[in-house]
Amino acid sequence: MRKAAFHNLGCKVNAYETEAMQQLLEDAGYEIVPFEEKADVYIINTCSVTNVADKKSRQMLHRAKKLNPAAVVVAAGCYVQAAASRLAEDSAVDLIVGNNRKKDLVHLLDEHFADRSVREDVVDIAAEREYEPLHIRKISDHTRAFIKVQDGCNQFCSYCIIPYTRGRVRSRRPEEILNEVSRLSSAGYREIVLTGIHLSSYGVDFNGEENLLSLTERLDRIPGIERIRLGSLEPCIITREFAERLASMRTVCPHFHLSLQSGCDETLRRMNRHYTTEDYLKRCEILRDTFKNPAITTDVIVGFPGETEEEFSRTRAFLEKVRFYEMHVFKYSRREGTRAAVMEGQIPENVKSERSDELLKLDRELSENYRRSFLGQEEKLLLEEEAEIDGKRYMLGHTARYVKGAVPYRDGLKNKTAEGVFVEQLNEEILRLSEKNTEV
| Co-location of 265 and 361 in the same domain | yes
Let me know if residue 132 belongs to a domain.
no
- DSSP-based three-state secondary structure for 376: coil
| Co-location of 110 and 171 in the same domain | no
Quick check: 439 pLDDT over 80?
no
- Reported as a single tens digit per residue, the pLDDT across 397-410 is 899 999 888 888 88
Quick check: 433 pLDDT over 60?
no
| Co-location of 254 and 164 in the same domain | yes
Q: Terminal CA-to-CA distance of the chain, rounded, Å? A: 36
| Co-location of 360 and 383 in the same domain | no
d(CA 146, CA 125): 24
| Co-location of 327 and 263 in the same domain | yes
Q: How many domains does the chain have?
A: 3
CATH number reported for the structural domain that contains residue 204 in this entry: 3.80.30.20
436 CB neighbour count, 10 Å cutoff: 11
| Co-location of 91 and 222 in the same domain | no
CATH number reported for the structural domain that contains residue 117 in this entry: 3.40.50.12160
Expressed as residue numbers, the domain containing 405 is 378-434
Let me know if residue 66 belongs to a domain.
yes
d(CA 13, CA 19): 10
368 CB neighbour count, 10 Å cutoff: 14
- Reported as a single tens digit per residue, the pLDDT across 356-410 is 999 999 999 999 899 888 877 778 889 888 888 778 888 888 999 998 888 888 8
- Reported as a single tens digit per residue, the pLDDT across 117-149 is 667 777 677 777 888 888 888 776 667 899 999
| Co-location of 266 and 178 in the same domain | yes
- Reported as a single tens digit per residue, the pLDDT across 171-194 is 999 999 999 999 999 999 999 999
Bridge partners for 42 per DSSP: 5, 73
**For residues 67 and 30, is the Cβ–Cβ distance under 8 A?**
no
| Co-location of 366 and 390 in the same domain | no
pLDDT of res. 128: 78
Q: Which of 278, 274, 331, 280 is nearest to 305 (CA)?
A: 331
Q: Which of the residue ranges 105-114, 136-145, 343-352 has the most confident prediction, judged by mean pLDDT?
A: 343-352
Let me know if residue 439 belongs to a domain.
no
| Co-location of 312 and 233 in the same domain | yes
| Co-location of 234 and 340 in the same domain | yes
122 CB neighbour count, 10 Å cutoff: 18
pLDDT of res. 422: 47
Let me know if residue 138 belongs to a domain.
no
| Co-location of 365 and 398 in the same domain | no
d(CA 82, CA 79): 5
